Amino acid sequence: MTGFLWSAMETNRSRRLSKLDEVQKRLFRAAKDSDVFEIRNLLNEVELAGQEKKGFSQRFIFSFAAAVIVFTVLFVLLAFTLTNDG
């Protein structure tokens, strides 16, 4: 049921690991040279590669859920008022 959540986490992890493999030699070289700024930049690249691309914002998801609930309730109330049986 929640497999889609875990697959997204695995995708982020694999993206970060592949990016770390790409920058590994440059990271070691920067560490040997004691270049702290280069190390920060490379680690920032790795972190940005692992970030999930946002599809929908939380506000949009909650608004859609609220709209569906309100529509459903209104539809049920309309059905009760239009039928004579109740």
Q: Band of the pLDDT at 51, cuts 50, 70, 90?
A: confident
Q: Where are the domains of the chain?
A: 1-53, 56-86
pLDDT in tens, 3-39: 555 566 677 788 888 888 998 999 999 899 988 999 9
Spatial distance between the Cα atoms of 24 and 11, rounded to a whole number of angstroms: 20
* CA-wise closest residue to 20 among 54, 38, 53, 44: 44
pLDDT of residue 11: 76
Q: Are 49 and 15 in contact (CB under 8 A)?
A: yes
